[in-house]
Amino acid sequence: MQRRSEEMPTDLWTSLLLLWITLLPCVSMMPVGGAETAAGPGEGQRLLSRAKRGWVWNQMFVLEEFSGPDPILVGRLHTDLDVSGKRIKYVLAGEGAGTIFAINELTGDIHAMKRLDREEKAEYTLTAQVINADTDEPLEPPSEFIIKVQDINDNPPQFIEGPYRAAVAEMSAVGTPVTRVTATDADDPVYGNSAKLVYSILEGQPYFSVDPNSATIKIALHGMDREMREEYLVVIQAKDMGGHMGGLSGTTTVTITLTDINDNPPKFSKNLYEFAIPENLPIGQMGGKVKANDRDVGDNAKSTYNIIEGDEQGVFEIVTDPQTQEGILRLKKALDFESRRTYTLKVEAANVQSDPGGGIGGPFKDTATVKIVVEDADEPPVFSKPIYMLEVNENAPVNTVIGTVGARDPDSSALYRQYLPLFHWSWHFINSPGDFLPRRDTHQVGCTVIAWRAGGLPFIDWLERKHHWTFSCSACTVPSSCFVMRQPGVEVAGCYAPGKKK
């Protein structure tokens, strides 16, 4: 409440006075106005002459949290009407009158009847009046005043939003801000130092520091590495009374996590990988796996794999498994044991995120050697030509040799020495080297020829080694007939002539 600042003549300072008689007497005295009073017949007091009333006060104070066996004296009201022989009494009204505050009607003493808490209610507005003790008629108009509850340091600082969590990038420079914490103090921020807070760090050195005034937590140690330690627990204290002895304090915790930067390259688990791959592995199938480990996490740990040496013909490719971050070695072209039996590849793993940040140098890649041994597979026979053109005169004698078919074993240099045409018609068959003679009663024939290794295997095993060839022989309009063998053919259960079903 704003103080009234009207000044009155000195000869009129004959009004009610408020005396400071509390433990901390602090009544602010100032005049608030005047009135005319007089005495007359039949009245205890009538308006006779101008005598200004002087309530020379507008507020008083009481110390909070005070408790004792007796009510605490807040202040005393007094008027110059209170002279010997006059019966007057003082009346108190307003907030807390009669419950929290009581007045001695005869002396004007005001007492606090209860223990007061400034944080619950900081001030009370009341009115005081002087009345005739016999008739209860007012001798003075009521005057308003305020009783303020004076603060003591009875509330510790509190971190309302704690505990806190914060994150900062690893390898951050010293002095990098991490987060800011805030404590509040319910005491009066204006009166004294009860609410003046100073911050300090109780746990978390030497990694972090805190600004004593702003409570900003900062990096205090150079080179903090997430791969060495990822999480820190910091305890911050706020102390009132400017941090001086006797002040109250409160604490909170801050869990600080170091976030990852790309400061570690991928690293192969070994320098040499060896794989054995069969030559008949289908194209696109996996031939082996390699793995480069990265101590970073998330995107910083992702790598791509490449073959940088040893595969000039593009036989292999290596791709990254997105789930496991392994390098999958796959076949792009068919292998041939007879033409090349080993491959030595140099494989590189490189980070997808090439910019590490934080001033960390590269290179962020690693290499390993992959040795591949091609394993031999039992391949079927291969005939010497894809197309055979066989000619014979139409009047050739029976048993004339019209052509020779030849097959080789891809797994060795030996020629196949046994051949078998499957057919229903009769053929003159010569075992070696694969000659055949047709009958003279048709112009066009076809059959399937099977070649197999010589060696006494049962026929059922020959089927595992067979190579199917179909050839047809057709008469030409020229003086000779031509016979054509084609591959790869369709397995035919016998020979056929034009106009007949297979």
Residue 492 or residue 469, greater confidence? 469
Res. 32 pLDDT band, cuts 50 70 90: very low
What is the CA angle 420-421-425, rounded to 5? 135
What local confidence, expressed as pLDDT, does residue 409 receive? 67
Q: What is the mean pLDDT of residues 196-219?
A: 97
Using a cut of 0.75, tell me whether the model's pTM lies above it.
Answer: no
**Mean pLDDT for the stretch of residues 66-95:** 83
Give the 3-state secondary structure percentages of the chain, helix then strand then coil, rounded to 5: 5, 40, 55
* β pairing state of 231-239 and 428-429: unpaired
pLDDT at 223: 94
Count other Cβ atoms within 10 Å, centred on residue 292.
26
Q: What is the pLDDT of residue 484?
A: 38
| pLDDT value at residue 262 | 92
* Residue 461 or 280, more confident: 280
Q: Residue 298: count other Cβ atoms within 10 Å of its Cβ.
A: 10
Contact 106, 87 (CB under 8 A): no
Question: What pLDDT score was predicted for residue 84?
Answer: 65
Tell me, what DSSP letter sits at residue 488?
A: S
Span(s) in the chain for CATH 2.60.40.60 = 59-150, 158-259, 267-375
Domain at 267-375: CATH architecture: Sandwich (2.60)
- Phi/psi of residue 257, each to 5°? -110, 135
CA–CA separation, 136 and 91 (whole Å) = 10
CB contact at 8 A, 439 and 471: no
Which position has the higher pLDDT, 60 or 286? Answer: 286
Give the residue, 343 or 482, on which the prediction is more confident. Answer: 343
CA distance 343 to 310: 7
What does the block give as tokens for 152?
A: 């003591």
Burial environment of residue 196 by CB neighbours within 10 A (0 to 12, 13 to 18, 19 or more): middle
Residue 316, classified by CB atoms within 10 Å of its CB into exposed (0-12), middle (13-18) or buried (19+), is buried
Distance of alpha carbon 89 from alpha carbon 258, whole angstroms: 74
Q: What is the pLDDT of residues 115-170, one digit of tens each?
A: 999 889 989 999 999 999 888 899 888 889 999 998 888 899 999 998 999 999 99
Q: What is the pLDDT of residue 358?
A: 53
Question: Could you give the C-alpha distances from 358 to 176, 189, 263, 302, 322, in angstroms and in order?
Answer: 12, 43, 8, 19, 27
Would you state the pLDDT for residue 424?
34
Return the higher-pLDDT residue of 349 and 79.
Answer: 349
> In the prediction, which pLDDT does 49 show?
34
Q: How far is residue 173 from each of residues 178, 303, 358, 500, measured CA to CA in Å?
A: 11, 28, 9, 92
Q: What is the pLDDT of residue 414?
A: 47
Rounded CA gap, 473 and 485, in Å?
Answer: 8
pLDDT in the model for residue 498 = 37
Cβ neighbours of residue 395 under 8 Å, at least 6 residues apart?
none
| pLDDT given at position 90 | 92
Place of tokens 């209610």: 121
Q: What are the tens digits of pLDDT across the range 316-329?
A: 999 999 999 999 99
Q: Which two tokens stand for residue 256?
A: 């600080």
- DSSP label at residue 269: S
Q: Which residue has the tokens 């994150």?
A: 167
* The CATH classification of domain 158-259, taken from the options 1.10.1200.10, 3.40.50.12280, 3.90.1300.10, 2.60.40.60: 2.60.40.60
Residue 436: C-alpha distances to residues 324, 398, 399, 462, 465 (Å) = 60, 11, 9, 20, 21
Q: What mean pLDDT do residues 46-53 have?
A: 37
Q: Which residue has the higher pLDDT, 302 or 393?
A: 302
Q: Which of 126, 91, 85, 86 is nearest to 105 (CA)?
A: 91
Q: What is the dihedral of CA 110, 113, 115, 121, to 10 degrees?
A: -60
pLDDT at residue 485, rounded to an integer: 39
pLDDT in tens, 408-464: 766 665 444 444 444 333 333 333 444 444 444 444 444 455 555 554 433 333 333
Give mean pLDDT, residues 64-71. Answer: 83
pLDDT band of 26, cuts 50, 70, 90: very low
The angle subtended at Cα 373 by Cα 368 and Cα 377, nearest 5°, is 150
Please provide the CATH number assigned to the domain covering 59-150. Answer: 2.60.40.60
CB atoms within 10 A of CB 338: 14
Evaluate whether 227 touches 264 at the Cβ level (below 8 Å).
yes
Share of the chain above pLDDT 70, in %: 64
> Per-residue pLDDT for 185 more than 90?
yes
Contacts of 446 (CB under 8 A, 6+ apart): 470, 471, 472, 473, 492, 495, 496
> Can you tell me the mean pLDDT for 278-300?
95
73 or 415, which is more confident?
73
Mean pLDDT of the chain: 75
- Total residue count of the chain as it appears in this document: 502
- How many Cβ atoms sit within 10 Å of the Cβ of residue 441? 7
More confident of the two residues 361 and 254: 254
